[in-house]
Structure 1
Amino acid sequence: MTALYRVPIAAHDDFEGWRDSARRLIQAGIAPDRVGWALPGAAAGDLFDAEVGPPPPTPAGTPPVRASRGYIELAQSAALHADPARFDLLYRVLWRLQSAPRLMEDRADPDVRAMDALARVVRRDIHKMRAFVRFRVIECPEVDQYVAWFEPGHHILAANAGFFVRRFAAMRWSILTPLGALHWDGEVLHQGPPANRSDVPGGDPAEDLWRTYYAAIFNPARLKVDAMVKEMPRRYWKNLPEADLIPELIAQAQAREASMIALGGEEMGRPPETLAALNDAVSACRRCAIGCNGTRAVPGEGASPAALMIVGEQPGDTEERTGRPFVGPAGQVLRDHARRAGIDLATARLTNAVRHFRHTQQGKRRLHQTPQAREIDTCRWWLDAERALVRPRLIVALGASAARGILGRTVGVQQERGKLLPLDHGAQLLITTHPSYLLRLGDTTRAEEEVRFAADLALAKRHLGE
């Protein structure tokens, strides 16, 4: 009888353990139809009633297992899916990769498509957890504790832990789920056993802030109920304090939209009345993927009111780490040119069109990614609120993203730069390049572009001096 191998998986999300066993099986030449993966708590099927053993030892001189980066990245996500056959699928694809190393490039292949479908569902579940976890405070004599209940559809708890540690590092919190728990004491993260919803306390005063915030950002003119339910599935509503407002807001949407049209489309709810309140609200914003990517919001900085507001694209790596705008390499270029132009940035307001750092991870480095149009448009409400509090006479937009954040439309920087564009309330807009653009140019081209950048700032200085 051909030997069958029933290989145990230590935990539902144990990708590393599975990969180690899979590597040994591949090197021993064990085909997928002779391997089964035993998940925790699963009963052995009839297929494995015969005597079985662990993965055999690797024969000497066996070549290494082939696994492309694309496979590894997709498999790490797909392994977190709740499908009990997921590890069979991953092993089957890994087995096929040994003879077809470019298999992952064939997106029409049924196995590759199945892996991709599992990974997409998992990534969506990770995003939903980041967006819909709501902490409730438990007042304690020394340090308040925060507890949240969430019901993930897949085994994403450990994969999402780093996000919550980074985002809520100063809090003492627990996230309880039916699949396990996370506990952060301010220094060490612990994993705990599954929990019940009854373990989470009732509502607290902070939930009123969520309701106020959600009512303020709810835009009836853009209401599409089907799209809203797709983005905020009903199964999450019972854990969201703001969700009890949704039926009423939907019912009132038509009347509110008519009111907005009558007011010129300007009624978007009451914006924060102070910059401090604005910063707090932005830090809690999860309306787009950037707000859920584990970085902290970087607020605007400087004078208020201020005659000059300088708007960049988004904070970079240095800005996100320090919590201050324009302190990285591009910020230094801006400060050097402003000083030469005679502009005192201590009297200006420095801010960004998008408040979180959109990036991709490459090893230990975080590489900048340009915000998408919908993300800039989502953040525009915060920029408008800041502008209303600062009341600048002149806004300098650094690059196309900043210009879109002000104007709400796509702008050709080279076509619009060097001239003053009228805005509402008597303000004017000057569009120029972002200093980071200068850093990417070669020496000759950069010298030419720096002359143009200096001329734009000189125009700003002349206008402010009038």
Structure 2
Amino acid sequence: MLAAARVPPEDIVWTPASGAEGDLFSGIAVAGVSMPPANRPVRASRAFLRLAERVILHRDDRRFALLYRLLWRLQDDPRLMEQAADSDVHRLTILAGQVGREIHKMRAFVRFRAVREDDGAERYVAWFEPDHHVVRANADFFVNRFASQRWSILTPDLCLHWDGAALAEAPGANRDDAPPDDAAEALWQRYYAAIFNPARLKVATMVKEMPRRYWKNLPEARLIPGLIAGAQAREAAMVALGGNTFPQTSPETLDEIAAGIAACRRCPIGCNGTRAVPGEGPARARLLIVGEQPGDQEEQAGRPFVGPAGQLLNMHLARAGIDRALLRITNAVKHFKFERRGRRRLHQNPTAGEIDRCRWWLDAERSITKPDIVLALGAGAGRAILGRTPSIGRERGLAGRLDDGSLLVPSFLLRLDGEGRRREENCFQQELVTLRHMLDESAPSACGHPPFRRSGRAGSYQGGKWLPGPDSNRRPSD
């Protein structure tokens, strides 16, 4: 009406109501002018209306002035909402986001307690203190979710009561009107304490997702300070429960290794809730490829190298004429280390200590498979074999004997673009072709390994150090 009457924003004084939620206007005073007749149509974009529906639920007393000012400006600039840098549009977006988060928090942090009504029926009652006017906006969510139960949500502004058929509203209540703890909460607290994983504790992220102001109304929140304070000691106890030391005898079969890594809790990665990914391939394989750790898709599938990196490796193996079914593929670290970003799990590099802890399993796997050649993809894989982090830039493509007589070839494949990508892929492809030629050489020697006759790459790893042979400065393609 005001916009249609061409009343400018600076002539209006907005006074928000002080009553129950939903009484969002108590009066409008127009300063210095008489109300002219409404004589023009008012336009509003969908983007504005979508944000306005949220912002009007905010507790900021200046929200009405902001909304009207934007509506006034939209009459002359219909594309105003596309200007994200505009101060009014930016402010509107911030307020709408705050209301949206409060709607989500109410759905996430309302806790119901069972009480008996006068007729003997059971009703579930919850207390919630919203920052904004979101109770009525969430009514349909709770009706649809708990349609078959009687429930009440009490807040200082407005109360909702559902009897299984109709929704009723009532004035605001006090915290004392909500019921005390019920018997089920003790059981829930024991369960919450049991599943609390200290190895995955990130206090800043937890407080961001569950602000402290909600803690007093959540039964499990009373445990959080103590669980945080004792997280380090509990993590150590979990590691001790899994065993700080490995058995004195190594596993004798690959199935024993798979069962062992599934139960291993000797480092924080093993305690992060993901499942272990065992190696894949024949029990006797002339070529063993070792990656750093499984990724998101590998953890879900329980198989190594099935994600983007695995598809890239398969392509290069096929081009080099190497059948993946005839080789064995495994990882230095058997669990997926990640950082959660929303719904995504982003890869995190394992630490040197975590690689060293998991090295025992890789040594056991190598002793069973007895490969002729080990291809280490990356510095992490090299460390798991050598016990130190190799310089891939200097040692790449240089094959050296390990203590068990097998050949170790350090390599890697960087994910670059343009000319750099073609250069790296060509180098990696040439290394795989060289490996194929090495596997195709004459009959194995008496020790079970094929002769290595390329003096340009001859050398050995002794005590974890690379000792080059004669003419070791020659490249693999020489």
Gaps of 5+ in 2: 20-24, 244-271, 276-294, 315-323, 331-478
Out of 221, 224, 235, which is 2:199 matched to?
Answer: 221
**Length, aligned pairs only:** 266
Q: Aligned partners of 1:70, 1:264: CA distance in 2, in Å?
A: 55
Q: Structure 1 residues 411, 402: CA separation in 2 closer, same or farther (over 3 Å shift)?
A: closer
Q: Aligned partners of 2:37, 2:122: CA distance in 1, in Å?
A: 52
Q: Aligned partners of 2:6, 2:302: CA distance in 1, in Å?
A: 62
Q: Aligned partners of 1:408, 1:131: CA distance in 2, in Å?
A: 35
Q: Structure 1 residues 118, 262: CA separation in 2 closer, same or farther (over 3 Å shift)?
A: same
Q: Structure 1 residues 242, 260: CA separation in 2 closer, same or farther (over 3 Å shift)?
A: same
The share of aligned pairs that are identical, in percent, is 54
Give the aligned partner of residue 339 of structure 1.
none
Out of 44, 54, 58, which is 1:81 matched to?
Answer: 58
Q: Structure 1 residues 132, 52: CA separation in 2 closer, same or farther (over 3 Å shift)?
A: farther
Out of 37, 45, 49, which is 1:72 matched to?
Answer: 49
Q: Structure 1 residues 257, 167: CA separation in 2 closer, same or farther (over 3 Å shift)?
A: same
Structure with bigger RCO (C-alpha 8 Å, 6+ apart): 1
Q: Which structure would you say has the larger Rg? A: 2
Give the aligned partner of residue 17 of structure 2.
40
Conserved 8 A contact 1:404-1:411: no
Give the aligned partner of residue 3 of structure 2.
26
Tell me which amino acid in the other structure corresponds to 1:220. Answer: P
Cα-Cα RMSD? 3.7
Give the aligned partner of residue 250 of structure 1.
228
Q: Aligned partners of 1:85, 1:421: CA distance in 2, in Å?
A: 62
Q: Structure 1 residues 166, 407: CA separation in 2 closer, same or farther (over 3 Å shift)?
A: farther
Residue 80 of structure 1, CA deviation: 0.9
Conserved 8 A contact 1:82-1:153: yes
Q: Structure 1 residues 153, 51: CA separation in 2 closer, same or farther (over 3 Å shift)?
A: same
Give the aligned partner of residue 69 of structure 2.
92
Give the aligned partner of residue 307 of structure 2.
411
Q: Aligned partners of 1:58, 1:48: CA distance in 2, in Å?
A: 15
SS at match of 2:3: helix
Q: Aligned partners of 2:155, 2:313: CA distance in 1, in Å?
A: 52
Give the aligned partner of residue 143 of structure 2.
165
Give the aligned partner of residue 407 of structure 2.
none
Tell me which amino acid in the other structure corresponds to 1:38. Answer: T
Give the aligned partner of residue 104 of structure 2.
127
Q: Structure 1 residues 47, 203: CA separation in 2 closer, same or farther (over 3 Å shift)?
A: same
Give the aligned partner of residue 238 of structure 2.
260
Give the aligned partner of residue 58 of structure 1.
38
Compute the TM-score of the two structures, normalised by the length of structure 2: 0.49
Conserved 8 A contact 1:78-1:122: yes
Q: 2:93 matched to 1:116?
A: yes
Give the aligned partner of residue 269 of structure 1.
none
Compute the TM-score of the two structures, normalised by the length of structure 1: 0.50
Q: Aligned partners of 1:126, 1:207: CA distance in 2, in Å?
A: 24
Conserved 8 A contact 2:11-2:32: no
Superposed, which structure 2 residues align to 1:94-243 within 5 Å? Answer: 94-140=71-117, 141-243=119-221
Conserved 8 A contact 2:47-2:81: yes
Residue 83 of structure 1, CA deviation: 0.2
SS at match of 2:71: helix
Residue 226 of structure 1, CA deviation: 2.5
Superposed, which structure 2 residues align to 1:316-395 within 5 Å? Answer: none
Q: Structure 1 residues 58, 402: CA separation in 2 closer, same or farther (over 3 Å shift)?
A: farther
